[in-house]
Amino acid sequence: MTTLRSFQAEIEQISLEKQKQAIREAREAHAAAELARHHGKAPKVQQVEVANRKEEVTADESVEEEQSLESLILGEDGEALRSNLARLLLRGHGEQLIPLGSHPPPSELFGSTSTSPPENPIGQAVTLVELTPALGRLREACTALRAELNELYRVEKDGKVYGCWQARLTPRRVEEIMEVRVAVVGNVDAGKSTTLGVLTRGGLDDGRGKARVALFRHPHEIETGRTSSVGGEILGFSPTGQPVIPTSHTDSGGDHGHLAAAKREKLGWEEVCKRAAKVVSFIDLAGHERYFKTTLYGLSGCAPDYVMLMVGGNAGLIGMSKEHLGVALALNVPIAVCVTKIDMTPPNILEQTVNMLVKVLKSPGCRRLPVFVDTAQQAVDCARHLGQPIGSGSTRLCPIFMVSNVTGHNLPTLRTFLNCLPSSQSDDKYVVDAPFEFQISDVFSVPFVGTVVSGVITSGTVQANDPVLLGPDSVGQFMPTAVKTIQRKRASVNSAEAGQSVSFALKRIRRTQVRKGMVLTGRTETAPKAVRKFEGIVMVLHHASTIQPKYQAMMHCGAIRQTVRILSLDHPSGLIRTGDRSKVVFEFISHTEFVKEGQLILLREAKTKVLGVVTKILA
């Protein structure tokens, strides 16, 4: 497994280099288009220098502002505090976590067993007398910026005080709402849909799975009780950090009043967006082995920022749970675990489940530090440090929530954790000042509207009635069309930007002309190119025998899902087995696709799994 970790580090390095190069070129093209539109021609070298200087200044300013924010809060310069906080809120897309006081280092906070030298406390030590006026100045700065200041936790120890506060802007329109995408995976009957039903609707389950019925999309799902499609639910949080859920669960009376309220809330996505400043989008994926390809498509095509692994307390980490965990680790997505059904599981069985889970997470293949979250402070700290290395090693954090959907145990703590997760748009891979690009992950035909596509905007911005290109089609061409209307979380908006998941209604496009995996791009001087062959570096995670040229498997690359053929292998033996790495030339079997250098690829065929990255476009 040391080989896998080194290969993942190599993939990250390749992706980062290709991404920086693509961003630089995209910004250059974007700047050229804007200058040509408004100010005439400009030298190309000057545009590159401006783009590079912008990127460098942004990185330097980010470090300086985060280091100086606490000093400004404890100081007296209110104008500098407002200016610094405004820039951080803008960079965080409307949200900023503000730790104050001397915090324990992450290795001490989460009980890391690392043998590295002890770390020093983080932050400036303050007393309660010093903290009170500082919070007053911070609250005044937030009020001036039309932001809410929410206290997440506060700890008093040995006369000193430390804690964490959250500044969150009040959005003026739906376009400004922050979004976090969380993929929910786990084995059959692990409680995925039930947990989402309870989290998003506020009521508790009756112990017989009634809370999940409102989430099912097809009649056969209701009959079998199993999710077979990529479903979606949202949980909104207000500017003050409170979950947007029904205020009453007994409107219709009787034992099932809360379930009736939950079903009514299912139709209220627009109402949730009106009251929310932040939305957590849950991608409810199938747990049955029969639908593994659907689950894999959701993990790769829907661009989740986090994975929430559901483990039934009575069953443990069995079946597809291990497969889902392995895919999440291969895709390098931060993971949180929820152990469900703790109210009905015998103590000895629950202890076995927990011990097995901890053993798997600590194994060399995972290298995750399990942290059992029981308090709001632990939930906030886990959200702050999720995905970051703990200590000097490569071990990363994995919070574990022991929850019950019947009694409600630990559900508020789980909501606090979700409330503090960073926004999807804060990820560096989503560049706003670049040409528009959108991956299509689903297609619909809506009566009286026409063809509607949904997915994630990977770069740029778009407005209603903007001309775009759709492709590649079966012959590798891109068709001109236009964005008729835009919806975000079922609410109509006028514009959208990189990092947001949205839906577009397209003009003059039939449903049969669109498929999953196609892209929408802005009309630029350089036309987009469809790809039939490409080169990549791969590592075989598991294969029963050997992989040779002419081998075929299903490839997942973002929203693309198509069979590819291996044309050649750059390996001394001419073939590869489990654990081998090699440079490989691939060819799409059916039709061309839009693929870029640096994209992550995952090949599957039965139990075969191959991880890789695109390094070169050939044709």
Residue 31 belongs to some domain of the structure: no
**pLDDT for 58:** 44
Judge contact between 169 and 277, C-beta under 8 A: yes
Q: Are residues 485 and 420 in the same domain?
A: no
pLDDT of residue 119 exceeding 80: no
> Which position has the higher pLDDT, 60 or 16?
16
Q: Are residues 199 and 221 in the same domain?
A: yes
Residue 6 belongs to some domain of the structure: no
Residue 367 belongs to some domain of the structure: yes
- Into how many domains does the chain fold? 4
Residue 589 belongs to some domain of the structure: yes
pLDDT of residue 306 exceeding 50: yes
Mark which of 472, 491, 522 sits at the end of a domain: 522
Q: Are residues 422 and 496 in the same domain?
A: no
Judge contact between 342 and 313, C-beta under 8 A: yes
* 277-292: pLDDT as tens digits: 999 999 888 777 777 8
> What 8-state DSSP symbol labels residue 431?
B
User: Cβ neighbours of residue 552 under 8 Å, at least 6 residues apart?
Assistant: 563, 564, 565, 566, 589, 605
Residue 35 belongs to some domain of the structure: no
Mean pLDDT of the chain: 83
Residues of the domain holding 421: 174-426
**Which helix (H) or strand (E) segment is 440 a member of?**
strand 437-446
Structure tokens at 390: 């703990």
Q: Are residues 365 and 382 in the same domain?
A: yes
Nearest to 470, CA basis, from 486, 485, 452:
452
Strand-pairing partners, residue 495, are 463
Q: Are residues 165 and 178 in the same domain?
A: no
Residue 1 belongs to some domain of the structure: no
pLDDT band per the 50, 70, 90 thresholds, residue 259: very low
Q: Range with the lowest mean pLDDT among 36-40, 159-163, 450-454?
A: 36-40
Give the domain CATH number at 334: 3.40.50.300
pLDDT band per the 50, 70, 90 thresholds, residue 56: very low
Residue 453 belongs to some domain of the structure: yes
Q: Are residues 285 and 198 in the same domain?
A: yes
Average pLDDT over residues 367-377: 93
Q: Is the dihedral of CA 529, 534, 535, 538 positive or negative?
A: positive
Mark which of 393, 426, 459 sits at the end of a domain: 426
Judge contact between 522 and 436, C-beta under 8 A: yes
Peptide linkage before 472 cis (omega within 30 of 0): yes
Q: Are residues 109 and 82 in the same domain?
A: yes
CA-based R_g, the chain, Å: 25
**Which helix (H) or strand (E) segment is 8 a member of?**
helix 2-38
**pLDDT for 319:** 80
Q: What is the pTM of this model?
A: 0.87
* 436-450: pLDDT as tens digits: 999 999 999 999 999
Nearest to 201, CA basis, from 144, 138, 272, 253:
272
Exposure string for 374-407, b = 16+ CB within 10 A, e = fewer: eebbbbbbbbbbbeeebbeeebbbbbbbbbbbbe
pLDDT of residue 258 exceeding 60: no
Q: Are residues 441 and 352 in the same domain?
A: no
* 220-257: pLDDT as tens digits: 444 444 544 455 788 999 999 999 887 644 333 333 44
Q: Are residues 504 and 591 in the same domain?
A: no
Indicate the pairing of strand 491-493 with strand 335-340.
unpaired
Q: CB-hemisphere CA count at 13 Å for 371? A: 30
Q: Are residues 378 and 258 in the same domain?
A: yes
Judge contact between 296 and 602, C-beta under 8 A: yes
Burial of 226 (0-12, 13-18, 19+ CB in 10 A): middle
Q: Are residues 306 and 224 in the same domain?
A: yes
Rounded CA-CA distance 221/227 in Å is 6
pLDDT of residue 265 exceeding 70: no
Mark which of 522, 554, 577 sits at the end of a domain: 522
Residue 117 belongs to some domain of the structure: yes
Give the domain CATH number at 516: 2.40.30.10
Q: Are residues 117 and 208 in the same domain?
A: no
pLDDT of residue 50 exceeding 50: no
pLDDT of residue 197 exceeding 90: no
